[in-house]
């Protein structure tokens, strides 16, 4: 993106390409959505501690690392082992990504003039219009940037993407909380799916 803008401004002596930026943001938003559950689950793995068999008094994470003694088994709250060093980055990832992405979408869907522009774009899309800046002058770049986050839904109902993300968070959280009881974990996940 920096090289593209530098080339347009300095070599071609043109204004920055807003469509290129919109496409790049749209691709990035789709990537964030697609890896959301995986990244949330990976961030929660640091807090997924369980005793070993036979129990030695320590709690261990499910992943292994060569720097941990005992054949790569890493103890949860031991300052010398990897999981203790990953607590801060994991908590930061949970705050920024797991909570930040839905809050960004809430801000995108519900705040300011964008809410009306999103609805206008959805109505144009339902009419099979608005694929060019001429037929959608007010919301074309908004469509290119964010349409993957709202085009599945009826006009005015784009907030359902937040319900889908809340379902993903619930599944990841119940997989962590009820890891020792698979039957109850299955029941909890089914409850989430029925509620969703």
Q: What is the DSSP string of 84-98?
A: HHTHHHHHHHIIIII
Residue 183: per-residue pLDDT = 92
Residue 12: count of CB within 10 angstroms of its CB: 9
Q: What is the pTM of this model?
A: 0.81
Residue 33: per-residue pLDDT = 92
Residue 144: per-residue pLDDT = 92
Cα dist. 68→74, 82, 194 in Å?
5, 7, 41
Strand intervals (E) in the chain: 50-51, 59-64, 73-75
User: Whole-angstrom Cα distance, residue 144 to residue 147?
Assistant: 6
What are the phi and psi torsion angles at 73 (to 5°)?
A: -70, 130
Residue 31: per-residue pLDDT = 94
* Low-confidence spans in the chain with pLDDT less than 50: none
Residue 176: per-residue pLDDT = 85
Q: Residue 73 forms beta bridges with which residues?
A: 64
Tens digit of each residue's pLDDT (9 = 90 or more) over 65-88 = 888 876 678 888 888 888 888 999
Query: What DSSP state is assigned to residue 17?
Result: -
Q: How many residues does the chain have?
A: 196
Residue 170: per-residue pLDDT = 92
Cα dist. 9→16, 18, 104, 188 in Å?
7, 13, 30, 55
Residue 42: exposure state from Cβ atoms within 10 A (0-12, 13-18, ≥19):
middle
């Amino acid at each position: 993106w920096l090289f593209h803008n530098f080339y347009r401004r300095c070599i071609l002596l043109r204004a920055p390409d807003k469509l290129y930026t919109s496409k790049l943001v749209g691709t990035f938003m789709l990537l964030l959505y697609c890896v959301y559950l995986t990244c949330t689950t990976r961030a929660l793995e640091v807090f997924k501690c369980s005793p070993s068999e036979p129990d030695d008094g320590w709690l261990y994470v499910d992943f292994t690392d060569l720097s941990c003694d005992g054949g790569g088994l890493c103890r949860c709250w031991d300052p010398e082992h990897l999981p203790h060093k990953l607590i801060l980055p994991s908590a930061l990832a949970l705050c920024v990504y797991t909570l930040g992405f839905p809050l960004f979408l809430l801000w995108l869907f519900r705040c300011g003039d964008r809410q009306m522009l999103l609805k206008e774009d959805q109505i144009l899309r339902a009419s099979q219009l608005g694929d060019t800046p001429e037929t959608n002058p007010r919301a074309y770049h908004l469509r290119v940037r964010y349409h993957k986050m709202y085009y599945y839904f009826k006009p005015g109902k784009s907030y359902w993407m937040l319900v889908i993300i809340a379902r993903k968070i619930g599944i990841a959280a119940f997989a962590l909380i009820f890891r020792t009881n698979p039957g109850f974990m299955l029941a909890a996940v089914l409850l989430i799916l029925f509620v969703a």
